[in-house]
Amino acid sequence: MASTGHSTAATSEMDEEKEAPPPQDLTLGWVRDALIRQEDSIVFALIERARFPYNAHVYDPSLLPQQGGRSLVEAFARGAEVLQAKFGRYQNPEEVSFFPDDLPPPSGIPYNFPEVFHPASASVTVNNAIWNMYFNDLLPLFTVEGDDGNYTSTAAADLVCLQALSRRIHYGKYVAEVKFRDAPQDYMTAIRAKDRDALMKLLTFEAVEEMVKRRVLKKAMVFGQTVTLEDKTFDDETKYKVDPAVVAHLYDEWVIPLTKDVEVEYLLRRLD
């Protein structure tokens, strides 16, 4: 019989727990741990994409007339989402589609994900903003100019980055739900007044944001080094696979603000 690959070691069990879907009785600590783990996925996804040069053809809609004016990356992402929807990816509330229209119904293995979100808030999405930010702002910052012909691998690497960013940013829904449950009276007043500024103030923890930015900078340094068997010291001359400053900028300028936008949009619908 094939092995299930399940380890009985205590540490593996702990890791498996972290990969489980968010529990119904989630806490802010649980959600923050999940966000910390997702930093690893984002940094590694960027490192994988940075292996290829910019590859402008991937983004040129005129090169694939048979795709109805869509660029290779858009056609690839749409096709991947159709396939993944068919097998139930979007049944998981952590996953948000970039092209939700025309997705087929799921026919994967059924699983009852815990219903954590308030139903009226569950559909909040900022994926259009993530898509535009990724291609217009971020990609030119961490890829080198050039064309190596690896177009489909490039599109696939872009999609991994986009999905990792989307998952992290839409985790703002879990953050918002748990913050609401922890202080419903404070939030209800601001929600009833539709006061976005008050909501933003309530949900913001500047000290946490500073820690997040410092930690992703460090992760980009640690994960982006070339590991050799020789002893070496890391200094200003060290070459990283992705510029750590770009990763910190990504979080500062886009990931954290978009997460907070998700939180505000979620809360505004929390009493509907």
Ligand X SMILES: C=C(O[C@@H]1C=C(C(=O)O)C=C[C@H]1O)C(=O)O
> By beta-carbon distance, which residue lies closest to ligand X?
259
Closest distance of CB 45 from ligand X, Å: 17
Nearer Cβ to ligand X, position 161 or 212?
Answer: 212
Q: For 28, phi and psi rounded to 5 degrees?
A: -60, -35
Nearer Cβ to ligand X, position 48 or 209?
Answer: 209
154 binding ligand X? (CB under 6 A):
no
User: In this chain, which stretch among 92-100, 137-145, 218-226, 253-261 interacts with ligand X, using CB under 6 A?
Assistant: 253-261
Distance set, CA 200 to CA 174, 248, 259, 263, 265 (Å): 15, 21, 11, 8, 10
Burial class (CB in 10 A: 0-12, 13-18, 19+), 252: middle
User: In this chain, which stretch among 17-25, 82-90, 197-205, 227-235 interacts with ligand X, using CB under 6 A?
Assistant: 197-205
Contact 249, 141 (CB under 8 A): yes
Distance set, CA 128 to CA 36, 96, 260 (Å): 24, 11, 16
Residue 245: partners with Cβ closer than 8 Å, 6 or more residues away = 217
Closest distance of CB 103 from ligand X, Å: 28
27 binding ligand X? (CB under 6 A):
no
77, 157, 175, 191: which one contacts ligand X (CB under 6 A)?
175
Closest distance of CB 213 from ligand X, Å: 8
259 binding ligand X? (CB under 6 A):
yes
Tokens describing residue 225: 């080094």
Closest distance of CB 257 from ligand X, Å: 8
Q: What is the rounded distance in angstroms from the CA atom of residue 226 to the CA atom of residue 114? A: 41
Residues of span 200-229 touching ligand X by CB under 6 A: 203-205, 208-209, 212
User: In this chain, which stretch among 42-50, 63-71, 75-83, 254-262 interacts with ligand X, using CB under 6 A?
Assistant: 254-262
In 3-state terms, what secondary structure has residue 185? helix
Residue ranges binding ligand X (CB under 6 A): 32, 175, 203-205, 208-209, 212, 256, 259-260
